[in-house]
């Protein structure tokens, strides 16, 4: 019974749960059930949400130190960080496959697209060093590298917000609704860690 519980609550089950949406949306897109605009929106939102979950783990732990949810988030935040990169990669693959290279290059200088590329490339070393072996090998340098996640988050927010302004709705509401709460939680984290006794 304990082995079954460990399996259901372990990292492999979490990986499976995080991967299922990506697999399903890719299959549906291949079947023609999603338009390009739909798949880009969905993968972008999943990437942002996985990133946000990884970022709120520490402030939630500081706010509710004894709760199991806070402890679980902190213990598994690397999984959500890697999932954020995986959905970002999927988002990028769909974009690259949709357009000719000339269009991609020309668009890359637009701020709304450039911010997305910056977020993507910042994510790469963070994801590649998210293993226990990398943590042990890099020592203190691992934590310094992982702090670049904040730049990736800022660029992801800018990418989403600027694209929102360029859309028919002309609104940053989606980006603000997702990122303002995590920004406030990060301000709380800084206050709690730096100024609170």
Cβ neighbours for 42, distance < 8 A, ≥ 6 positions apart: 25, 34
HSE toward the beta carbon, residue 65, CA cutoff 13 A: 3
Chain center to CA of 145:
16
Question: How many angstroms separate the Cα of 153 from the Cα of each of 109, 139, 156, 169, 184?
Answer: 19, 24, 5, 23, 13
| pLDDT digits 0-9 by tens, 30-57 | 999 999 999 999 999 999 999 999 999 9
Residue 143, pLDDT score: 87
Q: How far apart are CA 104 and CA 120, in angstroms?
A: 15
CB within 8 Å of 26: residues ≥ 6 apart = 90
- Predicted TM-score (pTM) of the model is 0.91
pLDDT digits (tens, 9 = 90+) for 121-167: 999 999 999 888 988 899 889 889 999 999 999 999 999 999 999 98
The pLDDT tens digits of the residues spanning 87-118 come to 999 999 999 999 999 999 999 999 999 999 99
So where are the chain's domains? 1-196
Separation of CA 82 from chain center: 8
């Amino acid at each position: 019974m304990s082995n079954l519980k460990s399996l259901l609550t372990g990292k492999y089950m979490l990986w499976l749960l995080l991967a299922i949406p990506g697999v399903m949306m890719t299959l549906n897109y291949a079947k023609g059930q999603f338009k390009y605009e739909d798949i880009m929106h969905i993968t972008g939102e999943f990437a942002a949400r996985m990133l946000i979950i990884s970022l709120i783990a520490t402030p939630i732990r500081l706010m509710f130190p004894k709760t199991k949810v806070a402890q679980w988030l902190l213990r598994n935040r690397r999984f959500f960080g890697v999932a954020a990169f995986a959905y970002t990669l999927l988002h990028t693959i769909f974009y690259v496959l949709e357009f000719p290279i000339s269009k991609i290059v020309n668009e890359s200088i637009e701020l709304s697209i450039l911010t997305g590329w910056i977020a993507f490339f910042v994510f790469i070393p963070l994801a590649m060093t998210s293993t226990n072996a990398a943590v042990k090998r890099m020592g203190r340098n691992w934590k310094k590298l992982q702090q670049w996640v904040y730049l990736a988050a800022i660029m992801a927010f800018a990418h989403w917000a600027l694209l929102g302004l360029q859309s028919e709705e002309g609104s940053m509401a989606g980006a603000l609704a997702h990122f303002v709460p995590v920004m406030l939680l990060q301000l709380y984290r800084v206050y709690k860690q730096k100024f609170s006794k």
